[in-house]
Amino acid sequence: MPVDPAPRERRHEAIERRHAENGITQLYALQLQEANKTIENLRSENNRLHAEIAQMQAADMTKMHDLQTKMSDLRFENQSLQSKMELMQMRMNMNMSSTSGSGPNNFGNHLTGQPSFANRTGPSRDSFGIDPML
């Protein structure tokens, strides 16, 4: 009796089909692994960038606080210098008006209980009679 080649061919086709399906399955599995690895790398990079941004923001906040403190100190110093300048101008104006009249210069006696700065000399006063530590 002759052997029918059809069942053998069908078995061979089924085996080839399974091999092809297995190959595609393996290909999909490899692609899935690569995609998962890419996702993990992107998550890691995202976390690193978020941490770097947080550090930069903290540094910026510290710098801003330091600059605000310095600005306040400079404003205070500026205000102090303006007050000293106004006082010096007032003393100069009063000194000029008192020197244009007759008699000794008694400017400042009523304010400090001491003789006028124009009559005083000493290392603690500048040329305008202002204590540099005011």
What's the pTM?
Answer: 0.48
Q: Which is it for the CA torsion 110, 115, 117, 122, positive or negative?
A: negative
Q: Residue 103 gets which letter from DSSP?
A: S
Reported confidence tier of residue 42, pLDDT bands at 50, 70, 90: very high
Q: What is the pLDDT of residue 29?
A: 93
Q: What is the pLDDT of residue 82?
A: 97
108 with 117: CB under 8 angstroms? Answer: yes
132 with 122: CB under 8 angstroms? Answer: no
Q: What is the pLDDT of residue 98?
A: 82
Domain ranges of the chain: 8-88
